[in-house]
Structure 1
């Protein structure tokens, strides 16, 4: 194997025609240059210089080797620059995943912040439920995943992963604009015991949390419609079809009233999972941006007191919703599969007069 250091020294020898001049250009002594060329000749298996008492003349082989190695050394130098950039985080790739509302509300700003710091980084974002992305983090397919966990439906994360909290989302009651209780600053949950409820599907943490919270208030919620798409839930509430309990990232102000729950304050916690041994230099930068975004959200929610609403009541990429008109299509809706244990392709807005099975 030819030593690239020796090849670089050879190039200087050929260019200058002198071991001493090559040494001065490279910061070596003439003796060190001579030793390197001797080692290179041993590796090549043929002389590269015609040596005399006063000079060392390059052979045709030395000239040819210099020409042929120029591109290879240039490629090696380029690779070295790329490696240094990757080690410093100036370049390289970062693979993230998040659940739907985190991908809509939090991660676009986080990715933009990472690119402001590292413009040449390659960023990838996927979407999935916690149970769908955990294995990918464990296997190294993803560098990190943003997930959620309800206080009323706790879960166990793998011991091999670091689990950092990003932000704690307030859970708020969502009522139609003309509801009898919309003037209240906060509402005890039992005041809504006779109301029709709208929530996510039966197999979701959100649905289980609602049932457990209602049980603590002495009633079983009458769930009339279900969808894993929070915009569907908000639209149904806006039409007066029922009331809902939603996490902060799912709140929108248009045509509904958002009111604080009296007494116990349930939370949905947004967390980020990553491998303890992950050495990707872009990961600490992304985590810092993510925690800053979480702190900004927490500050905004705290500052808005009773009404922690997403700005303008609109989701990124959507026009602010106007009060819906006409009959409601209760068949199939595109979904935002956030709270379930498995992938959801479609969610039926399902009517039922029975308690959801756990």
Structure 2
């Protein structure tokens, strides 16, 4: 029978991509993780790791066993969570990360109810982009994420992460009332070949979704303004310096000089809650339930 500690070491290497990062996540030394993996290889009768540059990667046998390890650890975490729920132990730290629009519109109401029902819960909130927040979830630095995924560029979810969609919403183009297309009832992105754009920095979901949407309509993106806050994007749009692609959650605060116009074809994004499958603790479960209730 395989040791749980050795399976946990293998799952950590599969999740984090190296022995060093797995050791950091498990609060062990790299040599300690390597020893656990060596013992696991002898128990399994297969080589589980192979050299890859200056690091290592899982062999086929390692990938097969890591999937089983993830399932075993997830079931164990669920059992521990169920036992904790018997005593209603929704208390202690709850570390939440999320994209700014969801943090601003969806999270406060859910947190107000959650902390009223569970006064011993201690939530903290960090906003940011998915590209920065997901590694922190995988490393155990965050417990719950509110993330976005655009329909024309679906987010790739790492193994071991559970995802539940909360909101499906439309995104619109923000144009200045001085833009030639501002009077349109709907706008095809192909109609905007000479328009500059404001969006989030490269590598973020909104930036990549915008670039792909424009290229799909035969327009090479002219992105000149890299600003994360929609209020800053609106300021640039209002002065007719740029257009912006804005989801519904942020569209309500558009200033008078900005018009929100649907796109043809329509562009949509999801807001989802994500957590590590093996971390189904009572606080995480209570947070997910509260978010689902307010999203509905």
Cα distance change on mapping 1:118 and 1:167 into 2, 3 Å: same
Q: What is the distance in 2 between the residues matched to 1:99 and 1:224?
A: 22
In the TM superposition, 1:198-347 aligns within 5 A as 198-251=198-251, 252-255=253-256, 256-262=258-264, 264-295=265-296
The residue number in structure 2 matching 1:187 is 187
Per residue, is there more strand in 1 or in 2? Answer: 2
Post-superposition, which runs of at least 4 consecutive aligned residues in structure 1 deviate over 6 A? 83-86
Q: What is the distance in 2 between the residues matched to 1:126 and 1:247?
A: 20
Cα distance change on mapping 1:104 and 1:201 into 2, 3 Å: same
Deviation track 1:288-325 (CA, whole Å, cap 9, x = no partner) reads 22123323xxxxxxxxxxxxxxxxxxxxxxxxxxxxxx
Task: Work out the number of aligned pairs and report it.
Answer: 212
In the TM superposition, 1:1-358 aligns within 5 A as 87-89=87-89, 91-251=91-251, 252-255=253-256, 256-262=258-264, 264-295=265-296
Deviation track 1:191-220 (CA, whole Å, cap 9, x = no partner) reads 222223222333333222222222222222
Contact map agreement 1:96 1:145 (CA 8 A) in 2: yes
**Bigger relative contact order (CA 8 A; separation at least 6):** 2
Per residue, is there more helix in 1 or in 2? Answer: 2
The residue number in structure 1 matching 2:45 is none
Q: What is the distance in 1 between the residues matched to 2:226 and 2:128?
A: 20
Aligned-partner SS, 1:171: strand
The higher radius of gyration belongs to: 1
Aligned-partner SS, 1:265: strand
Q: TM-score when scaled to structure 1?
A: 0.53
Deviation track 1:72-91 (CA, whole Å, cap 9, x = no partner) reads xxxxxxxxxxx989930454
Q: What is the distance in 2 between the residues matched to 1:242 and 1:95?
A: 36
Aligned-partner SS, 1:287: helix
Aligned-partner SS, 2:232: helix
Cα distance change on mapping 1:128 and 1:183 into 2, 3 Å: closer
Aligned-partner SS, 1:187: coil
Cα distance change on mapping 1:179 and 1:125 into 2, 3 Å: same
Q: What is the distance in 2 between the residues matched to 1:287 and 1:248?
A: 22
Q: What is the distance in 2 between the residues matched to 1:133 and 1:125?
A: 12
Aligned-partner SS, 1:240: coil
How far 1:139 sits from its partner (Å)? 4.1
Q: What is the distance in 2 between the residues matched to 1:259 and 1:151?
A: 18
Contact map agreement 2:85 2:282 (CA 8 A) in 1: no
How far 1:236 sits from its partner (Å)? 0.5
Q: What is the distance in 2 between the residues matched to 1:138 and 1:203?
A: 18
How far 1:174 sits from its partner (Å)? 0.3
How far 1:108 sits from its partner (Å)? 1.5
Contact map agreement 1:175 1:258 (CA 8 A) in 2: yes
